[in-house]
Amino acid sequence: MKAFRGQPSIYKNKEKARRPADIQIKGLSLSFGGVRALTNVDLEVKSGELFSVIGPNGAGKTSLMNCITGFYHPEAGKIIFNGNEIQNLHPHELVKIGIGRTFQNIELFPGMTVISNLFLARHIHYSYGFLPACFFSRSVKEEEIAHRRILEEIIDFLEIQSVRNKPVGSLPYGMMKRIELGRALALEPDLLVLDEPFAGMNLEEKEDMVRFLLELNRAWGQTMILVEHDMAIVMSISRRIAVLNFGEKLTEGAPGEVVKHPEVIKAYLGDDNNL
C-alpha cells in the first residue's frame, strides 16, 4: 500500500478531545405502515471510534443511519449527540452541528466536475452574502482562497488530482465513491456516517478506501459509523460492531466477540464452517 502524502488541514492542530462526537441511541423505533424497520434499538459510539453496524439485507441498517442523519424521524426513542437531542432535526441542521455522511447510492452531480462537487459541501461554511459575492470583494476572495486550500488538501489526501477537472459521471464507480467521501470530508464533520462505502468496488479500490478510513480514524481521530456488507473489511478495521436483524439489535462488542455470538452466526454469518 502506498503511504499518505499528508493529512487534510482540517485535522491539523485539532486534538481528539477538541472534536467530540459522542452519540447515544436510546430505545429507537421506526415503522413504515405496518412494517417495523427498527425496534427499541440502543447504541453508543464514543469520540474517536470506528464503529460498524452489520446485518443481512432488510435488517434496518440504512434506516438507522437515516435516523441519525435526519432523513427519517423515529416514532420513539432518543438520539443524543454531544449531550443534545437531535432526533427531530433535519439533515441541514445536523450538518451544521457536525454530522456528515456518504450514501449507499451515490448522490453526486454527474454533470459537474469533481472540484465543483467538492465545493458544494463548503456552502455551510460560507460567511458572505449575495451582494459581496456579486462584487467579489476582498473578503470574499480571501474566504474563497481558504475554502480552496482545504479542498486542495482533501484532493491530495484522497489522491484524486488526476480527475479533479473531469465530470463525475465519466469516472469509474469506485472513483465516484472516493469523490463522495471527499465531499463528506469537505463538510468538516465531527461524526462521519458511511453507508456501504465499499459497495461496487474492486479489490484495489477497496484497499485504497481502507487506507483512507484508517488514516482518518487512527491518526486524526475522525469518529465514524460504518455500515458495510464486506465482513473481511468490517472485522479488520472496526473497534466495535453492532449486529441488527429484522430491526432489532442482536449483540454489540469487539469483532472477535461478535463473530462468535451464536445468534449472529445463525442470523447473518452462517454456520461455523463458513466463518
pLDDT in tens, 195-210: 999 988 999 999 999 9
Residues of the chain falling short of pLDDT 50: 1-6, 13-17, 273-275
Return d(Cα 222, Cα 213) in angstroms, integer. 9
Per-residue pLDDT, 3: 36
Cell triple for residue 65? Answer: 443511519
Q: Give the architecture-level CATH label for domain 9-274.
A: 3-Layer(aba) Sandwich (3.40)
Return d(Cα 2, Cα 179) in angstroms, integer. 19
Cell 465531527 -> residue: 190
Q: Are 157 and 8 in contact (CB under 8 A)?
A: yes
Per-residue pLDDT, 2: 37
DSSP 142: H
Predicted TM-score (pTM) of the model is 0.86
DSSP 163: G
Per-residue pLDDT, 125: 76
Residue 249 to residues 75, 155, 223, 225: CA-CA distances in angstroms? 17, 37, 21, 15
72-74-79-85 Cα dihedral, nearest 10 degrees: 90
